[in-house]
Amino acid sequence: MAGDRPVKERVHDFDEVDTGLSMHNAVLEALRCMTCVIPKCVEGCPVNIDIPSFVGAVAANDLEKAAGILREENMLPAICGRVCPQETQCEGSCILGKKEKPVRVGALERFVADWEREKGVVLPETAPPSGRRVAVVGSGPAGLTAAAELAKSGHEVVIFESLHEAGGVLTYGIPSFRLPKEIVREEIRMVQDLGVEIRTNHVVGRSVPVEELLSYDAVFLASGAGLPYFIGIEGESLNGVYSANEFLTRVNLMHADSFPKFDTPVKKGGRVVVVGAGNVAMDAARVAKRMGAEVKLIYRRRKEDFPARLAEVEHASEEGIEFVCCTNPVRIIGSDGRVAAVECIRMEMCDPDESGRPAPEPIEGSEFTIDADVCIIAIGQGPNPLISSLIDGLETGKKGNVVVDNDGRTSIPHVFAAGDITTGAATVISAMGSAKTAADSINRMLSD
């Protein structure tokens, strides 16, 4: 079966941890599928891949057919096979999972997509040019998916991306030991090969005026949820405090781990405290570990309450990240303007709160400090308000998210939106699923 690289080896580099399935094991795994008459896994997949057919094609050794089935619904299969939370989606709905382990749909998807990339991808057909122009804001999974769908329908699609490299969180957030960057680049290249133009270093609302954006026949907003939340405690502006987004962007996008070869610095080694226990916190902790740090991750609830995927928690634990549970930071202590320690308080679990989980309450007098050189805040992020604040009449919700109907329509007739900008921080595949729905609506509008 798929294996992870030995811990001793992998904590010193950024190469992929999971080595993937061999052909032999992929076929064995695919043969476990019961080809259910009512396949629950398909309902569990936000982009509705015909999972029994693609898995059946692997079982029959027909990888070309399997790849074709995947690509009908998903332009980013090598990415999804690696980062989708399959345990709560397709694999979580697999009937086999009631008695034994579910079929490893994600590992099979990755296997087929990797095979196809090596062999050379056959792109889907595109319709003749429609003469209609669509502007897409943001090149994350939502922007790329909608752009690909619209290009297949013959529209001229331009993606505006503020960063110097396309991919959104796939490029700047998720570290390469979980999602190698060459795979992201290759899947983006396939979207470009469909005729999509990507203009990087183009910030809508700054270098691209909103009037220019709105002059397109349709506009698709997919600018994500890249605005990090802070805790609001003393010391958060000290040197050495980063949001997880900034820390990960410095390393993944700006190559700060190779400073001074690259211009962007980041504190390497030392003692790092990460606040939070979601996937983003695990990524930040594991990146810091690979740069030689001793890492403690603090969370106000218990380990069983960690929001991160179990696999990420296990990987982080194996790699030596220390979890300090039932603990909340109350102040970051500085020395000469730099982080020196994080003052914390112990928490006890009380009656359930509105989330249904036991509510953490501080234990009076239990304060203690953890010495630290760096503190990374990973408690969540929300939509950046730049674009929505500049488009007159665009309805937004309480958290700054763009409000859409079930078809991805905003309050402005030719403006659509999907992904994290509409939901707040979510998942790659949910961004892709909602982007496909919005692209369908754009298509219908443009063909009326």
Residue of 281, 253, 283, 255 lying closest to 268 (CA atoms):
255
84 binds ligand FAD (CB under 6 A): yes
Question: Taking the complex as a whole, how short is the minimal distance between the CB of residue 277 and ligand SF4, in angstroms?
Answer: 23
105 binds ligand SF4 (CB under 6 A): yes
431 binds ligand FAD (CB under 6 A): yes
Which residue's CB is nearer to ligand FAD, number 293 or number 308? 308
Which range touches ligand SF4 (CB under 6 A), out of 41-49, 208-216, 247-255, 310-318? 41-49
Non-local (6+) Cβ contacts of 412 within 8 A are 391, 393, 394
Which range touches ligand FAD (CB under 6 A), out of 35-43, 55-63, 217-225, 438-446? 217-225
Which residue's CB is nearer to ligand FAD, number 347 or number 420? 420
221 binds ligand SF4 (CB under 6 A): no
* Residues numbered 406-425 forming contacts with ligand FAD, rule: CB under 6 A: 419-421, 425
Structure tokens at 128: 């003749």
What are the distances in angstroms from CA 338 to CA 2, 281, 371, 393? 43, 21, 12, 43
**H/E element, 243:** strand 241-243
51 binds, among ligand FAD, ligand SF4, none (CB under 5 to 8 A by kind): ligand SF4
* Residue 335 dihedral angles phi and psi, to the nearest 5°: -145, 120
**Number of helices (H), then strands (E), in the chain:** 18, 16
333 binds ligand FAD (CB under 6 A): no
140 binds, among ligand SF4, ligand FAD, none (CB under 5 to 8 A by kind): ligand FAD
Non-local (6+) Cβ contacts of 139 within 8 A are 147, 159, 161, 166, 167, 168, 188, 198, 200
Task: Using CB under 6 A, pick the residue from 86, 171, 249, 279 that binds ligand SF4.
Answer: 86
* Residues numbered 55-74 forming contacts with ligand SF4, rule: CB under 6 A: 74
DSSP string, 280-311: HHHHHHHHHHHTT-EEEEE-SS-GGG--S-HH
Under 8 Å between Cβ of 5 and 19:
yes
Classify residue 403 by its DSSP letter: P
Q: Side chain identity at 248, as an amino acid letter?
A: L
272 binds, among ligand SF4, ligand FAD, none (CB under 5 to 8 A by kind): none
CA distance 140 to 132: 23
429 binds ligand SF4 (CB under 6 A): yes
Which residue's CB is nearer to ligand FAD, number 341 or number 418? 418
Q: Which residues bind ligand SF4 (CB under 6 A)?
A: 45, 47, 49, 51, 74, 80-81, 84, 86, 89-90, 105-106, 109, 429
Q: Which residues bind ligand FAD (CB under 6 A)?
A: 83-85, 137-143, 160-163, 168-169, 173-174, 203-205, 222-224, 226, 248, 279-280, 283, 384, 386-387, 419-421, 425-429, 431
